[in-house]
Structure 1
Amino acid sequence: MSPRFRGGLTATAGVLAALVMVGHRLLPNRWGVGNTLDSGLPWLGLVVPVMLLVALVRRSWLALAGAMVPAVMWAVMFGPAFVRAPGIAGIVPRDLRVVHQNVSYSNRDLATTARALRATGADILVAAEVPDDPVLGNGTVDPVFGRELSPGYPYRFPDNPGVAVWSRYPVEGLPRQVPGVPRSRQAVIRTPRGAVSLYAVHLASFRPGEPSVIAGRNAEVEALARAIRADPSPRIIVVGDLNTAATDRELRHLTALLSPVAENAGTGLQFTWPAKLPAVRLDHVLTRGFTALDSRVLPMTVSDHRAILADLRASVGATTGSSVSR
């Protein structure tokens, strides 16, 4: 092959990878393939070092140019997450700290996990997959986990449908299930800054290669979006294990209505699962009527998910009552 065209295949692959990055949401979503591609999108950047190595071995300027195309596209799409300034926590006082973790039904050290969550100083703490009391069952939280969290959290949602909530502030009325989202609870929490409509959710699993499971997850995302759309509350917080990657096209149903805290106040891609080597962000805090001050992924505990922390301040024009800032 002529040296002029050596590396043409590599260059073509680079252009195709870049096109997939920029146009992934335009690709058909049959059998959940589009959702799966979306979820792994940041990892397409791994083709760049491979292509650079090929270009070096083959001494091909064409291959090098082809490798730079997806490199630039990846940098445009994901680079800002690494170079943006971290949140303004510590500069502007917070009104609420929200912490969430999928605790995992297989967690064999619930006490340690609960103590780590309590140590975060959360005002609202949401936990998914908290095991039931082995004696009482019926949605009653495991007493070991509950006992470790009780100090400092006088208010708790009364049942445990796969997601449990503890709060420093009173809960108004009886929490309800979000229609179409079985593992969910919605209630109004009366904070000193006013009422907050809280949605604690644990959406259906996402399993690549199982279209019916992915379709169930998608249906729950849309059901949650319908509930948010119908909620007139000026202050809303959605928090939980959404089983939906930050790059998944389905998340747009929610981000069109709410603001993702991690994108506004976090640094990096903030992956949360699997805990030992996080590869995707499945856990989210989304808000309306708040300014995001800080977003962090917390160190690994016993669970297969890492916990997330969000510091929030009620936005001007969406607040009532006195400040509880610290």
Structure 2
Amino acid sequence: MAQQAYMTETDNGGSGPERRGSRLRSLLNRFLGGWRGDPRIWRRGIVLAALAVVLALVMLLHSHIPNAVGNLGSLTETFLPWLGLLVPVLVALALVRKSATALIAVLLPAIVWLNLFGGLLTDKTGSGGDLTVATHNVNADNPDPSGTARDVAASGADVLALEELKASAVPVYEKALAPAYKYHSVQGTVGLWSKYPMSDVRAVGIKLGWTRAMRATVATPAGPVAVYVAHLPSVRVKMNAGFTARQRDRSADALGEAIAADQLTRKILLGDLNGTMNDRSLNAVTSQMRSTQGAAGSGFGFSWPASFPMARIDQIMVKGIEPESSWTLPRTGSDHLPVAARVKVTTSATGS
């Protein structure tokens, strides 16, 4: 009787597998039932299909978008990952329009986006490394420089870079960081704090007329490392010129030349570059160094603006050094998030 009752219950749409299957079929019929036998599913949504193809081409050929008009190419590359949000929108519109053509076309931008950024969706962080580094644009108008200094020092970074240091706030940062860092140097508006001795400390000219970049040799337990700190000029959006970044681009070229000419084989760049790894205008730097976030991070690691991060313009890059992990730190009183990385300074590398 029990077996018969069970069979009767499930046969009549009870809680057994048959009922779950019928619910799925009902849901599919609700979305696709009107498509069967309708030849217009291939003729509808041509405009949506064209938009999907254009989106795929923009992502695939972003490096060919010219900068001549409003620096449009760099602007597109700065926010390139966000174009992926248009894919589910196009899928939804294709379903509403009941267009098979549009649905198939949407596969193109989806595949291109996954090819460009799918690797960032996986967790590549490791557990090794022998040096922790961090960088933070502290914001000249930071209302709590002392608290910000304590927050970033709590990350445990062995080497810490700060950018946008206002002269009147430098003593505050120096006092707050002194217990954790024995060595430090401030050059212009950038500074470097280290638990290990520093030598050959100097400003780096990036064609600005004032100092916003520096370099030091840090004597890590695994050997000397050239550490660069940089704060490239900000980009601007002007009514008559669009997205302008000419000064930023010149400074990036000068920074890239300085790093390439450095005789040490192990190099770390810390700073606010006011551009993402996708931005072609930073090629002088990005072509010779690896992003720790791209190589060993989890997710996109967006750092700006701190209230709703949309782009990673604060970078940690390495050369001759192996990234192990990379992450963003909790928000401080700045409009940027601090970023940190754990790297392995290989003992086999040598430099003069």
Same fold (TM over 0.5): yes
Deviation per CA, 1:214-265: give whole Å up to 9, x if none: 0111111111111112112111111100101122112332222112111111
Equivalent residues, number: 308
2:176 counterpart of 1:148: yes
1:192 Cα offset (Å): 2.2
- Provide the residue aligned with 2:213 in structure 1: 184
TM-score, normalization by structure 1: 0.89
- Provide the residue aligned with 1:13 in structure 2: 51
Q: Which of the numbers 236, 258, 262 marks the counterpart of 1:207? A: 236
CA distance in structure 2 between the aligned counterparts of 1:286 and 1:51, rounded to whole angstroms: 36
1:316 Cα offset (Å): 4.7
Q: Using the TM superposition, name which of 218-227 and 255-264 deviates more.
A: 255-264
- Provide the residue aligned with 1:81 in structure 2: 120
1:191 Cα offset (Å): 1.9
| Residue type of the alignment partner of 1:148 | A
Q: Which of the numbers 15, 34, 50 marks the counterpart of 2:73? A: 34
- Provide the residue aligned with 1:25 in structure 2: 63
RMSD after superposition: 1.9
- Provide the residue aligned with 1:323 in structure 2: none
Unaligned 5+ segments in structure 1 are 134-140, 321-326
Q: Using the TM superposition, name which of 310-319 and 239-248 deviates more.
A: 310-319
2:87 counterpart of 1:54: no
Q: Are the aligned partners of 1:32 and 1:208 in contact in 2 as well (CA < 8 Å)?
A: no
2:322 counterpart of 1:287: no
Deviation per CA, 1:56-110: give whole Å up to 9, x if none: 1111111111222211211121111112x43212xx3x22111111111111011
Alignment partner of 1:263: what SS? helix
CA distance in structure 1 between the aligned counterparts of 2:78 and 2:206, rounded to whole angstroms: 26
Deviation per CA, 1:2-22: give whole Å up to 9, x if none: 543110000011011001101
TM-score, normalization by structure 2: 0.83
Q: Are the aligned partners of 1:14 and 1:69 in contact in 2 as well (CA < 8 Å)?
A: yes
1:28 Cα offset (Å): 1.3
Alignment partner of 2:146: what SS? helix
1:178 Cα offset (Å): 3.1
Q: Which of the numbers 132, 137, 141 marks the counterpart of 2:167? A: 132
Alignment partner of 1:270: what SS? coil
Deviation per CA, 1:247-294: give whole Å up to 9, x if none: 211233222211211111101111000011100000111111211111
CA distance in structure 2 between the aligned counterparts of 1:25 and 1:204, rounded to whole angstroms: 22
CA distance in structure 2 between the aligned counterparts of 1:225 and 1:251, rounded to whole angstroms: 8
Q: Are the aligned partners of 2:235 and 2:243 in contact in 1 as well (CA < 8 Å)?
A: no
Deviation per CA, 1:176-210: give whole Å up to 9, x if none: 22342541011212222221111100000022445
1:298 Cα offset (Å): 1.1
Q: Are the aligned partners of 1:290 and 1:314 in contact in 2 as well (CA < 8 Å)?
A: yes
2:269 counterpart of 1:241: no
| Residue type of the alignment partner of 2:126 | I
Deviation per CA, 1:156-177: give whole Å up to 9, x if none: 11x3422111111112134222
Q: Are the aligned partners of 1:205 and 1:213 in contact in 2 as well (CA < 8 Å)?
A: no
CA distance in structure 1 between the aligned counterparts of 2:76 and 2:192, rounded to whole angstroms: 33
1:312 Cα offset (Å): 1.0
Q: Are the aligned partners of 1:178 and 1:184 in contact in 2 as well (CA < 8 Å)?
A: yes
| Residue type of the alignment partner of 1:145 | Y
Greater RCO, CA 8 A, separation 6+? 1
Alignment partner of 1:284: what SS? strand
- Provide the residue aligned with 1:102 in structure 2: 137
CA distance in structure 2 between the aligned counterparts of 1:64 and 1:258, rounded to whole angstroms: 39
CA distance in structure 2 between the aligned counterparts of 1:249 and 1:174, rounded to whole angstroms: 30
Q: Are the aligned partners of 2:187 and 2:203 in contact in 1 as well (CA < 8 Å)?
A: no
Q: Are the aligned partners of 2:264 and 2:350 in contact in 1 as well (CA < 8 Å)?
A: no
Alignment partner of 1:142: what SS? helix
Runs (4 or more) in structure 1 with deviation over 6 Å come to none
Between the two proteins, what is the percent identity of the paired residues?
A: 35
| Residue type of the alignment partner of 1:70 | P
**Structure with larger Rg:** 2
CA gap of 1:131–1:176, structure 2 versus 1, over 3 A, is closer
Q: Are the aligned partners of 1:36 and 1:208 in contact in 2 as well (CA < 8 Å)?
A: no
